[in-house]
Chain A
Amino acid sequence: MRYIPNTDSIVEEMLGEIGVDSVRALLRPIPDSLILDKPLDLPSAMSESDIVKHMAKITSLAGIHLSFLGGGYYDHLIPAAVKHIIGRSEFYTAYTPYQPEISQGTLQAIYEFQTMICQLTGMELANASMYDGASALAEAAIMAVRISKKKEIILPENIHPEYRETVKTYCRFLDIVIKEIPVGSDGRIDVKVLKENISADTAAVAVQNPNFFGVVEGLEEISAVIKDAGALFIGVVVEPVSLGILKPPGDFGADIVVGEGQAFGNPMNFGGPGVGFFASRDKYMRQMPGRLIGQTVDKNGKRGYVLTLSTREQHIRREKATSNICSNQSLCALAAAVHLSLLGKGGLKKVALLNLRLADYAKEKLGSVKGCKLRFSSQIFNEFVVELPIPAEEFSRRLLLEKNIVGGLPLGRFFKGMEKSLLVTLTEKISKEDIDTLTESLNGLLNGGGGQ
């Protein structure tokens, strides 16, 4: 076996030196009744070339198609350099940096990631990463309850539905009340509804911006309502490219900002791995979940980095830890840091602006197709909801079958009454011509071709 250097004869030799005559002798502590008497029922070993053929065969259906999918994971351009950096085995084959002297590469890179997350979100500190945006939001809710000693979390319904589900799973047995509130007909948080629901019992309100419908929220007003009630403001950023052009939650007084960083450096990979991020204020430092990397010096006064404040963590505090998280998404955080470094200040702004312009153009084009209309009139970042004259699931099936286009995400599976709604997402991978193609196909399918 190519991954096991010790051949049978070497194993024999080693057993001799150990002083036993068989592997079974070493397994003596295992009761006989437990030892398997037949081989595992698994496919037999494949050669490397057979694996390559097998994988090519089973993945061939994925094909190349024009896609307008988003809704939490985004198909952005990833510079070629990212893959080469995270493909360096000094990075990807290393363990968690528990031995800092020989882990300075990971430690400094993630310290840079922490800094970039702070800069992007407008916050004071950030951790080394969480599993994903949804579980980061759940941890934020738990942290807010811990800080405020109150028990209620408000989640407007325009927060990603899978994020809300995740929060409910995490909080279910912690005696935390999750209050989901309906949103306005413009797709944004209805400030009146928020005021009616928020109270002195509210630990925190989470606000996703841009929200699940792609709509940009009015954070200033919302933040004021949250602060007035004495609750904590959790900002949620699921499409972080937006931070290149939108004022971050930190500028509006957010106490915690969480989100998904997949858009930076991490391919979609059917939903993971991406990278959850978690940022907060200095005053809440010791309430943070997850790993934190800090700067220090070595015995000669030379700058270096270590995992720090670990008395918050499970391996020290055990059942009293701020979270049970151990492994995080370090390599994905590295990918994000590399991608962000390549984009730089100017590039991030440029790419965000391009997303905005593409979405604006697409919104106008699709909104003017006969039979279609925009579900919400509000301003958006890079995705929007279009209302079709037929069920969106059926439309999507036909569009894929007839035109080889994935037109967007049908929202009926998430929201009652939105069976005809399609969430259409634009990134810099899409061109003006692609949008024209989608428009023509939409028109062709709905209106039998011809003009708009």
Chain B
Amino acid sequence: MRENVGARGLIFNEPLIFDISREGRDGASIPDGVGLPEKKIESLLPKGSLRDDIEGFPSLSEVDVVRHFTRLSQWNYGLDGGFYPLGSCTMKYNPKINEDMASLPALNNLHPYAPEGLAQGALRIMYELSDYLAEISGLAKVSLQPSAGAQGEFAGILIIKNYFESIGEKRHKIIVPDSAHGTNPASSALCGYQVIEVKSGSDGLIDPAEIEKHMDDDVAAIMLTNPNTLGLFESQILKITEIIHKKGGLVYMDGANLNALMGIVKPADMGVDIMHFNLHKTFSTPHGGGGPGSGPVGVTKKIAPFLPTPVIVENNGNYSFQYGNKDSIGRLRAFYGNFGVMVKAYVYIRSMGGDGLKKASETAVVNANYIKEKLKGIYHLPYDRECMHECVFSDKIQGENDVSTLDIAKAIIDRGFHPPTIYFPLIVHGAIMMEPTETEGKETLDSFIEALKDIAAKAKEDPGSLKASPEKPKVGRLDETQAARNPKLRWRAGQKDG
């Protein structure tokens, strides 16, 4: 057996930044304003608006600050440090050249209201990136404005709402399968749609007959994910989208799982009218501990006029923003989106090329099937068939010894890996959802598989020992009940902890 990759290192304790503050210290170099006239501050501001103090705000030197946050960073598990098989999250390697190109001073220092003549490079990157996403999805037009997947969904649902309004139809419902991400029903609700939850079939797939039953003139759209959140390709997708289209509905695809499809299938060919992309999943941009992401939304030609404003147009190699499209849903945020994230995705696509993207998807599928085959039988596999880029197990076998998915996840930590996504999708009791991505080599997968086998063995021999994990991180299992019951969401002066 390979050596367990989880080992120990020196971990520092570090108080809250407010507790290491010392009045009078400063950590930033600020110009003196040489030559400016000396005036009383009070004379420059309206009466009663001058602030006297920022209570509790820290004062530190640069050294203090750097050491503080460096120590904090060491308590994090990052993708650069190890395997991160979070299902539905596509934690693929974040190429370093992307970071370098996104921090070019010419882009970092570009103001959103810079004259278009100065912004040609940025506009070109955005224009070309939307074109690439259109080609990958088969859709006609893509807007890069949404800040993350959920905002992309919101944009998509708004487009649906506006489209039906434009043709004088009032539809009130959206069909969402029970395996969907929570953002799907939440985004639908933001537009006042009633959510019709449709049960998945016993094979884990959407049953066209079930859709047929719910589809009528009051259903605006279906929101589906393909491959679905079980990692299974919806084989009946053509039938499903046909049922929707026949009754005048639209098909929205959650693009969270696009990493299974690049260069293999185009969503538009499946009958998808609208989808969002997650640049922070499929297109290798880092997750940053929870963001920033970027969630472009793509549409067919018919509904392209509804895209958010502004759109970028090209004329003889000259790029500009176009405002004032009367059918547009409007804007979702200030300016044009998370541009810095777009640059990284752009560089990624240019680095990979079309063939590289296809290879990425194919390898992601091979890696997921490899894990699935190797762990099948050791962990319960509720849907035993070819998977796409991820596979979903459950804790059914280990549950016989009172070992839960949570215990398994925490035991994985002690063995040096980030746990898979747990308890999602909701339709699998005790789900353990693994997405290896294409950026992991066979050796990594093998050592992960070994670790999972070891945990399964422990679950039989000494289940109690798993309850103690994780033991290697800085803190053990945290009391989430107390956190919610007695919420402490900020530091306050006089409060000393840790």
Contact = CB atoms under 8 A, between A and B. Distances in A.
A109 interface: yes
B186 A323 contact: yes
Interface stretch (A39-47, A198-206, A368-376): A39-47
A261 interface: no
The interface size bin for chain A is 35 or more
Given A14-B367, A272-B336, A326-B150, 15 more contacts: A3-B360, A6-B366, A13-B442, A40-B135, A55-B347, A81-B27, A85-B66, A162-B335, A168-B330, A169-B331, A170-B190, A247-B49, A327-B295, A341-B58, A343-B27
B471 to A, nearest CB: 10
Contact of B475 (A4, A302, A324): A302
Interface in A106-149: 106, 108-112, 114-116, 118-120, 124-126, 128-129, 131-135
A357 B118 contact: no
Given A314-B182, A314-B183, A102 B418 contact: yes
Contacts of B413: 99, 101-102
A358 B118 CA distance: 26
Given A44-B355, A99-B418, A306-B483, A361 B37 contact: yes
A360 to B, nearest CB: 5
B167 interface: no
24 contacts: A3-B95, A34-B270, A58-B121, A73-B335, A85-B66, A93-B94, A103-B75, A109-B69, A132-B333, A162-B331, A174-B192, A244-B54, A267-B340, A269-B108, A269-B110, A271-B335, A296-B482, A314-B182, A314-B183, A327-B293, A329-B292, A334-B289, A345-B53, A360-B44
- Among A216, A269, A300, A330, the one with the most B-chain Cβ atoms within 10 Å of its Cβ is A269
Contact of B365 (A26, A160, A246): A26
B358 interface: yes
A294 B111 contact: no
A131 B442 contact: no
B141 interface: no
A305 B97 CA distance: 33
Contacts of A344: 21, 25-28, 57-60
Contacts of A220: 48
A292 B186 contact: no
B172 to A, nearest CB: 11
Given A51-B350, A360-B44, A6 B355 contact: no
Interface in A15-62: 15, 17-20, 23, 25-31, 33-36, 39-46, 48, 51-52, 54-56, 58-62
Interface stretch (B207-215, B245-253, B258-266, B393-401): B258-266
A166 B190 contact: no
A292 B480 CA distance: 12
Interface in B279-333: 280, 284, 286-293, 295, 308, 329-333
A81 B65 contact: yes
A26 B386 contact: yes
Contacts of B440: 5
B226 to A, nearest CB: 10
Contact of A6 (B308, B421, B442): B442
A8 B265 CA distance: 21
A77 B30 contact: yes
Nearest to A89: B80
Given A319-B195, A327-B148, A308 B483 contact: yes
A379 B289 contact: no
Interface in A273-305: 273, 285, 291-300, 302-305
Interface residues of B, number: 202
A54 B473 CA distance: 43
A322 B316 CA distance: 46
Interface stretch (A189-197, A224-232, A347-355, A441-449): A347-355
A394 interface: no
A293 B487 CA distance: 9
A169 B190 contact: no
Contacts of A273: 147, 291-292, 338-341
A271 B336 contact: yes
A185 interface: no
A314 B232 contact: no
A69 interface: yes
Given A84-B66, A93-B80, A273-B338, A247 B48 contact: yes
A51 B358 CA distance: 20
A100 B32 CA distance: 43
Given A46-B350, A61-B120, A344-B25, A28 B386 contact: yes
A214 to B, nearest CB: 12
B54 A295 contact: no
A219 interface: yes
B372 to A, nearest CB: 8
Given A135-B332, A166-B333, A270-B339, A119 B73 contact: no
A4 to B, nearest CB: 5
B89 interface: yes
B24 A346 contact: yes
Contact of A67 (B114, B149, B195, B287): B114
Nearest to A251: B51
A135 B333 contact: yes
Contacts of A60: 106, 121
Nearest to A423: B113
A96 B291 CA distance: 8
A71 B363 CA distance: 46
A104 B14 CA distance: 11
Interface in B460-498: 470, 473-480, 482-484, 487-491, 497-498
